[in-house]
Amino acid sequence: MDEKMRILLCEDDENLGMLLREYLQTKGYSAELCPDGEAGYKAFLKNKYDLCVLDVMMPKKDGFTLAQEIRQANAQIPIIFLTAKTMKEDILEGFKIGADDYITKPFSMEELTFRIEAILRRVRGKRNKEANQYKLGRFSFDTQKQILAIGDKQTKLTTKESELLGLLCAHANEILQRDFALKTIWIDDNYFNARSMDVYITKLRKHLKDDPSIEIINIHGKGYKLIAPETE
């Protein structure tokens, strides 16, 4: 890590906040701790951060309100909520605001860092991908415009189709783990989402059928593999 990733940490439980900050620092992150939502928002406006970790229940300004304000200022920055609540409505509320992840207390420090690492990897991957157009045999795929093109034929993909094809392209000729894809795109690897992903795989196969050298195969018990000619 050439430059430390900066994390804004908002937690009103002073002991937990200090523990989290110290732990993140030992993991090579730069973490700034704020005791409430108001202080968090001031810090956010003043400094540049790569990710926010926000407690939901805080004095002066709760985590959801803070997240909405942060989202207005920066639509891209990843946000993780920490909460003692396991109420479904709260989790849905968090995702509606645009949370990238949600951790319920008590949680292990390792779990939090795994989640942070996964999100930062995804964000970096997206940034790298944005500059890229993928070549898939005779197809070209523009991840930003969500357009799959072959010859004169252009197909506009849905967001989910595009995200899934982007992941498959990033792992071309390798196994894309099913649970990784589910958690990356659908957040949760439950039965309903798994069925939904199968439907999208079927749709992508149809979109790609014009080039027989491209196929998406099932790897039993593991996930999928996008078979594509290697391009230099």
Encode the chain (232 residues) as per-residue pLDDT tens digits.
447 889 999 999 999 999 999 999 999 999 999 999 999 999 999 998 999 999 998 989 999 999 999 888 877 788 999 987 666 677 777 777 778 888 888 888 888 998 898 888 777 765 554 446 888 899 999 888 889 999 999 999 988 898 899 989 988 888 888 888 888 788 777 778 888 889 999 999 999 999 999 999 999 889 999 998 875 4
Q: Which residue in the block uniquely carries the two structure tokens 């005791």?
A: 35
Where do the domains of the chain lie, and which CATH numbers do they carry? 6-127 (3.40.50.2300), 132-227 (1.10.10.10)
